[in-house]
Amino acid sequence: MKKRTKLPIILSLLAVLFLVLGACSNSDDKNKEEKEEMEHSEMDMNHSSSGDVPEGLKAAENPTYEVGSQAIIESGHMESMKGAEATIVGAFDTTAYAISYTPATGGEKVGNHKWIIHEEIKDAGEKAYEPGAKVTINASHMEGMNGTVAEVESAEKTTVYMVDFTPTTGGEKVKNHKWVTESELSASE
């Protein structure tokens, strides 16, 4: 075979390869955020807490879900959370933030962690932080989180809830889980 006839074949094969790789990367990008969330959701997360709340956090005056009531968790922070019936143990009005950070203990960057609240940011003033702001975390929801500098991905003024729930995958009851936003809950039947 001559050199001139090999070149179009090689170029055609390269074009097909780029198309296939491009298609794969598009589907990977679409699922990347979901995958990141699920990868970090179960690792090193302190599912239960003491129930202590940060200084200055105010109880919600008229929460949609009152303390002691039941609700269904519609969020997937952790695989075992979505669909679980929760008991509301605290309701607070604040700003909730999704953040990205690299754990102080090392390891891969955690993307789009939900949630920390305004009162869990070191030296937070009155004003809510905008996406892109750099903040120092004063919370230990996950190992290596406390004291790290994080980037705010999103901010939402809302009522946040501390909840008790039994994982849908079984296991011990989770007590005083921090935090679930109002939009992540639905009425229990």
Residue closest to 127 by CA, chosen among 94, 161, 149: 94
What separation in angstroms does the CA of 85 have from each of 41, 75, 89, 169?
18, 12, 13, 12
Q: What is the mean pLDDT of residues 50-65?
A: 91
Give the global pTM: 0.75
Mean pLDDT of the chain: 82
CA distances in angstroms from 87 to 164, 178, 180, listed in the order given: 5, 13, 12
- Helices (H) and strands (E) in the chain — how many of each? 1, 8
Question: Taking 70 as the threshold, does the pLDDT of residue 33 lie above it?
Answer: no
The more confident residue out of 17 and 130 is 130
- Residue 51's pLDDT is 78
User: pLDDT tens digits for 80-121?
Assistant: 899 999 999 999 999 999 999 999 998 899 999 999 999 999
Q: Which residues pair with 79 in a beta bridge?
A: none
Q: Are 132 and 149 in contact (CB under 8 A)?
A: no
pLDDT at residue 32 in the model: 40
- Expressed in percent and rounded to 5, the helix, strand and coil fractions of the chain are 25, 35, 40
Give the containing element (helix H, strand E) for 72. strand 70-73
Q: How confident is the model over 62-71, as a mean pLDDT?
A: 96
Q: Does 42 or 47 have the greater pLDDT score?
A: 47
18 band by pLDDT with thresholds 50, 70 and 90:
low
Phi-psi region of 70 (alpha: psi -120 to 50; beta: other; left: phi over 0): beta
Residue 124: beta bridge partners? none
Cα separation values, 160 from 21, 41, 50, 164, Å: 42, 18, 17, 13
* Rounded percentage of the chain residues whose pLDDT exceeds 90: 61
Give 162 or 1, the one with higher predicted confidence: 162
For residue 22, pLDDT over 80 is answered with no
